[in-house]
Each structure stands twice: as C-alpha cells, then as structure tokens.
C-alpha cells in the first residue's frame, strides 16, 4: 500500500515563481489536508477538503490555493512564491473520527 504520496520531495524556487505540490492517496479517504511545518511551531493547517469539489481554508491559507477534482488527489498551488513560504509541507488523509495518515513531506526553499 502506497498510502499518501507527495511529490516532489525537495524543491528550490526563486521569489515570484509558482509551483504545485502534488498529493495523492490510495485509501479512498474522503478527508484530505495540507499542513506546513516550521521549526518550533508544530504543524499548521493550510487547507482541507471533505470530498471531491469541496475545499475550505485552514489556519494559514494566505498565498496558497487548492483544488479537489478527484477523491485521490489534492494539489497545493503556490502562485507567487515568497521567502515566508520556505517550509516543510505535509499532506494527510483520513475519514471521520479516524487518525490522519501523513505523506513524507515536501521540503521547499524559496530564495
């Protein structure tokens, strides 16, 4: 079982560039999430989705966009990369009342 798969694992961007972080899960989970992890800050929720076509903002959504066209995929889009978006990004999935399953993360540096 692949679980939650994130690509790429590492990326360096220049300020102002855009990119999409990919996330796919093969567990038929209806809930999916994007978090960012900064040193000493724990994980903060960026966006989440309760099913295909339904997305909502989390705690730190500014500068990001998401879409959910299928149950399996939940890409995260950075339109105009800024140094403050340097972080480790984690995608997760689950169903109601169950623990979240996490991907291995994408390490993003913006210079």
Partner 1 sequence: AQSVTQLDSQVPVFEEAPVELRCNYSSSVSVYLFWYVQYPNQGLQLLLKYLSGSTLVKGINGFEAEFNKSQTSFHLRKPSVHISDTAEYFCAVSEAGTASKLTFGTGTRLQVTL
Catalog residues that contact partner 1 under the rule CB under 8 A: 31, 33, 35, 40-45, 48, 50, 58, 90, 92, 94-105
Q: Which residues are within 8 A (CB) of 29 and not within 5 positions of it... i.e. 6 or more apart?
A: 71, 93, 94, 95, 101
Distance in Å, CB of 28 to partner 1, minimum: 15
27: left (phi over 0), alpha (psi -120 to 50) or beta: alpha
Distance in Å, CB of 55 to partner 1, minimum: 11
Q: Which is nearer to partner 1, 17 or 34 (CB)?
A: 34
Q: Which is nearer to partner 1, 16 or 53 (CB)?
A: 53
Does residue 76 contact residue 20 with C-beta atoms inside 8 Å?
Answer: yes
């Amino acid at each position: 079982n692949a679980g939650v798969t994130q690509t790429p694992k590492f990326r360096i961007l220049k300020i102002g560039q855009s990119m999409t972080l990919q996330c796919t899960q093969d567990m038929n989970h209806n809930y999916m999430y994007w978090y960012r992890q900064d040193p000493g800050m724990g994980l903060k929720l960026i966006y989440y989705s309760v099913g295909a076509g339904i997305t909502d903002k989390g705690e730190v959504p500014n500068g990001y966009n998401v879409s959910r066209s299928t149950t399996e995929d939940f890409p995260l889009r950075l339109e105009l990369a800024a140094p403050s978006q340097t972080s480790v990004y984690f995608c997760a999935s689950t169903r109601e009342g169950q623990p979240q399953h996490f991907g291995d993360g994408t390490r993003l540096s913006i210079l």
